[in-house]
Amino acid sequence: MAYLKPDKPEKVYVPALRTAKEKGEKLVCLTAYDYPTARIVDEAGVDIILVGDSMGNVIHGYGNTIPVTLDEICSATRAVKRGSSRALLVADMPYGSFHTGDDEAVRNALRLMKDGGAEAVKLEGGRNRVGLVKRLVDEEIPVVAHVGLTPQSVHKMGGYRVQAKTADAAKILIEDAHMLEEAGAFSIVLELVPREVAEIVTAELEISTIGIGAGSACDIQVLVLHDLIGFTFGRQPRFVRQYANVSQVITDAITNWMQDVKSGNYPNEEESYGLPKDVKLVEAKAVKK
């Protein structure tokens, strides 16, 4: 059987995460929602690409992740799949895609894998999702769990705040993480939790923790690519370290191009096409009746 695009020899599969944890080797994960960013992220050597429902805020401008649809995630996953060949590809299960029964959730997760090309799915929730995680894993669907701040619960939580800040809340989160591991999740996102809590979860679990705003103890760090490269608007959370200002780069490029067009400097001869030398043009005269 011939494959059009063979996996790279160093392709990251699910078991690589456990191996890295055992060796104490840190991995990295970034979001991507389209082909060009997927190519850049994959070729830069990022281990995991997440087609996150953060696309709701980042590329759709919704203000939260609630409206993101399975179709949107599936289409983005297909594009990211085409642009990546090494990283493990994880697709988010958007709000509403796993809330109406396990059969429906399995169908939706399978769609992300079969149509989208995802190699795993991620879903938000603690002990309330343990049964579903087991079911998905039974159906050969690798699952990343997600606890702490779960943006799909923004209305219930009343905003985006650090979670597990009391001893009781931390105990519940740590228990949830254990239950999700037992249910078969191969990794777990810890979002916006105190670094001490993330440290305990990372030490107690055999599966890898993927931290965002959860301190440096986590086995894997994840960021939204657009935050990392300065391609977002508004105030950023304190855990975001901006490594570039892509918005400024784009603005400068557009401004320079506009100036060149208005001054007649664009396009020049090399940026346009002339007739072949042997073609003589006959001027068309206006036909007068």
Q: Which residue matches tokens 């603005």?
A: 251
CB of 76 to ligand KIV, least distance (A): 11
CB of 245 to ligand KIV, least distance (A): 21
| C-alpha 110: how far from chain center | 18
Record the tokens describing residue 3, joined without a space.
């494959």
Q: Which is nearer to ligand KIV, 174 or 223 (CB)?
A: 223
Q: Which is nearer to ligand KIV, 53 or 181 (CB)?
A: 53
- Residue 276 CA neighbour count, 13 Å, CB half: 2
How many residues bind ligand KIV, per CB under 6 A? 11
Contact map string, positions 122 to 161, toward ligand KIV, x by CB under 6 A: ----------------------------------------
Q: Does 50 bind ligand KIV (CB under 6 A)?
A: yes
Cβ-closest residue to ligand KIV?
A: 52
- What would the DSSP string read from start to end of 101-129? -HHHHHHHHHHHHHTT--SEEEEEBSGGG
Q: Which is nearer to ligand KIV, 76 or 189 (CB)?
A: 189
Instruction: State residue 270 phi and psi, 5-degree precision.
Output: -70, -20
Applying CB under 6 A, which of residues 21, 32, 49, 52 lies at the interface with ligand KIV?
52
Q: Does 53 bind ligand KIV (CB under 6 A)?
A: yes
CB of 248 to ligand KIV, least distance (A): 23
**Per CB under 6 A, which of residues 267..286 are in contact with ligand KIV?**
none
Q: Does 79 bind ligand KIV (CB under 6 A)?
A: no
Provide the annotated active-site residues: 191
Contact map string, positions 84 to 103, toward ligand KIV, x by CB under 6 A: --------x-----------
**Region of 16-24, 47-55, 259-267, 280-288 interacting with ligand KIV (CB under 6 A):** 47-55
**Region of 49-57, 161-169, 179-187, 192-200 interacting with ligand KIV (CB under 6 A):** 49-57
Q: Which is nearer to ligand KIV, 54 or 209 (CB)?
A: 54
Q: Is the CB of residue 182 less than 8 Å from the CB of residue 166?
A: no
Q: How far is 74 from 80, CA to CA, in rounded Å? A: 10
Applying CB under 6 A, which of residues 31, 77, 202, 232 lies at the interface with ligand KIV?
31
**Per CB under 6 A, which of residues 192..221 are in contact with ligand KIV?**
212
- What would the DSSP string read from start to end of 141-175? --EEEEEES-GGGHHHHTS------SHHHHHHHHH
**Interacting residues toward ligand KIV by CB under 6 A:** 31, 50, 52-54, 92, 189, 191, 212, 222, 224
